[in-house]
Structure 1
Amino acid sequence: MEQIIKELHSIGDFIRWGASEFNKAELFFGHGTDNAIDDAAVLVLHTLNLANEKIPNILWHSRLTSSEKQDIYNILQRRINEAIPTAYLTNEAWFSNLRFYVDSRVLIPRSPIAELIEQGFEPWVEADQVNYMLDLCTGSGCIAIASAMLFPNAKIDAVDISADAVDVAKINIDAYGLNERVNAIQSDLFANLDGKVYDLIVCNPPYVDAEELAAMPNEYHHEPRLGLEAGDNGLLLVEQILRQAAQHLTANGVLIVEVGLSQKYLMEHELPFMWLDFERGGEGVFLLTAQQLIDY
């Protein structure tokens, strides 16, 4: 440690060294970055209180103080030795161009549903027709909050079975000043939503099957198992949602659910799933209308 701190001097030095060590440790990148250099840069700049700043070229070569070097070394070592996702080390994740507080009580936002929100859910949803929306399995509240920006007049329920997740969602709801329109509720799916109906239900539930869970990189095992695990075929919750969603949708309501790789098992159900495409990558997100669910 002392030798490294002695030989490295600048922001660029520590980013390069960190990236090399990340690759040597065969870390996984997929919780906000997709490569070692970006991952190291996030941690270094966060530690220097320069996160999200536009860094002039001259700063990359600026010398660091001894205490700054020590702090940077310590956080990089945690990433290397414990395989903690960077978002948990910084308590920051981005979704639909919005910043969210995250910690190990919730999954790190990474759903392709962000792209749907940025596109206004078009052409399947008319923004001015959404008065009530449900974000089921909300986690950090990212889908609910990003959707609240899209639907300025809508009331949105952000629901999760985990009391810890609801607490994190409330932190983010409060940070965006949305307490009047976004309501965080603890509920096992629809259990505490009796009588409530919505124009749009969006859900990113646990959908990881047993085989996929066992094969996941170490970083994923820092995330709450409750937010990932969904039985042998990954459809433990999705099948419940398909049975119950119709009674919570308006006549012209729409259900959008992410099922990831468990799509292959869901295809065995005789439903007219519309599988959505994404320009930035992602798969396993389907859409059904209220009438299609009623027929089912």
Structure 2
Amino acid sequence: MANSGHGALPPELITVGDWLRHAATTFARAELHYGHGTMAAWDEAVALVLGWLRIPEDRAEALLGAHLTAAECAALAECVRKRVEERVPVPYLTGQAHFGGLLFEVDSRVLIPRSPMAELLQDGLQPWLGQRLPQRILDLGTGSGCIGILAAMVFPEAEVLLADVSLDALDVASRNIRLHGLEDRVETRQSDLFSGCITERFDLILCNPPYVDTADLASMPMEFQHEPRSALAGGGSDGLELVQRLLRSAAVHLADGGLLVLEVGNSAPALLERWPALEWIWPELEAGGFGVGLIEQAALARAVNEDGPKG
């Protein structure tokens, strides 16, 4: 029989459409947590099945009736099992994730791209940059490189440095630089905050650092436990230990008129309490998400030099 090679798999699971339906139904019954690029069972199924098969979404309709090989069926069955039983996020199963309209390679060495900073970058950081076009950009704590690479696409004249303390993360970022053909003006460098660029200054610093506090980290769904803990936990009970180190030294690495864009998520109230003198701008995000603050070099330098943090 044609399906004998599928082993214990249900013989009805033959086509792309079969696997989309099966995955969506299985995910819905499993009451999974969504938040790594999708918000519902059907979207999760589409991301998994089409992503693993490398079928572009705009070609999916024409291929819904396409038969899969026994090996493809077995691999998809294992992916569905891992998603349900082990709660492995889909991007780690497919090896790819979308961010800001771009596709990135990802694995469990880096966070799955999801920063609301994408919306701000796609809008060219307007109106805050005005007529200024950044010539040098730093993506600090780059992980997969998604934020810095998106910035390189938005500002095609800029040179971009992707910095991270993790060599594993930089390996993933380097692959994404090559994926997008940006080797001529985007580079990677190992750096613990600014240790790898001590004398350099940038027109724009983008940073999505670890900032999750102790309570939030303990209560996060199992899906997030698959991500690198070092990329989530910011240190200290409020999650701001690393952020505070960053703020104390960022101003000297910003050019005159430069801009720092910092994501702190749920830790934003704690940041405001600890650094009341900082003149943050907190943009409203149409696509959702929160906790992304912007501050100019002069305001940051003034607050750090004259006031500093409380406590």
TM-score bracket, normalised by the shorter chain, equals over 0.9
Map 1:118-157 → 2, pairs under 5 A: 118-126=122-130, 129-157=133-161
Q: Hey, what's the Cα distance between the residues in 2 that align with 1:8 and 1:129?
A: 52
Deviates more, 1:169-178 or 1:204-213: 169-178
- Residue 293 of structure 1 corresponds to 300
Q: Does 1:165 align with 2:181?
A: no
Cα–Cα, structure 1 residues 42 and 127, in superposed 2: closer, same or farther, change >3 Å? farther
Q: Hey, what's the Cα distance between the residues in 1 that align with 2:198 and 2:87?
A: 42
Cα shift at 1:250: 1.1
Map 1:275-294 → 2, pairs under 5 A: 275-294=282-301
Deviates more, 1:71-80 or 1:146-155: 71-80
Work out whether residues 127 and 150 of structure 1, in 8 Å CA contact, stay in contact via their aligned partners in 2: no
Q: Hey, what's the Cα distance between the residues in 1 that align with 2:171 and 2:52?
A: 26
Cα shift at 1:152: 1.4
- Residue 272 of structure 1 corresponds to 279
Q: Hey, what's the Cα distance between the residues in 1 that align with 2:12 and 2:187?
A: 51
- Residue 101 of structure 2 corresponds to 97
Work out whether residues 127 and 151 of structure 1, in 8 Å CA contact, stay in contact via their aligned partners in 2: no
Deviates more, 1:125-134 or 1:109-118: 125-134
Q: Identity of aligned pairs, percent?
A: 45
RMSD: 1.8
Q: Hey, what's the Cα distance between the residues in 1 that align with 2:176 and 2:131?
A: 23
Cα shift at 1:4: 4.8
Per-residue CA deviations over 1:190-239 (Å, capped at 9, x if unaligned) read 11211100111111001100100111111111110110001210111111
- Residue 235 of structure 1 corresponds to 240
Letter in 2 for 1:41: V
Deviates more, 1:64-73 or 1:229-238: 64-73
Work out whether residues 197 and 249 of structure 1, in 8 Å CA contact, stay in contact via their aligned partners in 2: yes
Work out whether residues 279 and 300 of structure 2, in 8 Å CA contact, stay in contact via their aligned partners in 1: no
- Residue 17 of structure 1 corresponds to 22
Deviates more, 1:253-262 or 1:67-76: 67-76
Cα–Cα, structure 1 residues 148 and 60, in superposed 2: closer, same or farther, change >3 Å? same
Cα shift at 1:243: 0.7
Cα–Cα, structure 1 residues 182 and 64, in superposed 2: closer, same or farther, change >3 Å? closer
Work out whether residues 5 and 69 of structure 1, in 8 Å CA contact, stay in contact via their aligned partners in 2: no
Q: Hey, what's the Cα distance between the residues in 1 that align with 2:55 and 2:184?
A: 32
**TM-score, normalised on structure 2?**
0.90
- Residue 117 of structure 2 corresponds to 113
- Residue 230 of structure 2 corresponds to 226
Per-residue CA deviations over 1:86-132 (Å, capped at 9, x if unaligned) read 00111101111111110001000000110011100111114653111
Per-residue CA deviations over 1:28-54 (Å, capped at 9, x if unaligned) read 111111111111122222343424442
Cα shift at 1:55: 2.1
Work out whether residues 5 and 70 of structure 1, in 8 Å CA contact, stay in contact via their aligned partners in 2: no
- Residue 210 of structure 2 corresponds to 206
Q: Does 1:85 align with 2:89?
A: yes
Work out whether residues 130 and 200 of structure 1, in 8 Å CA contact, stay in contact via their aligned partners in 2: yes
Among residues 72, 77, 98, which one is paired with 1:73 in the alignment? 77
Give the match's secondary structure for 2:287. Answer: coil
User: How many residues are aligned here?
Assistant: 295
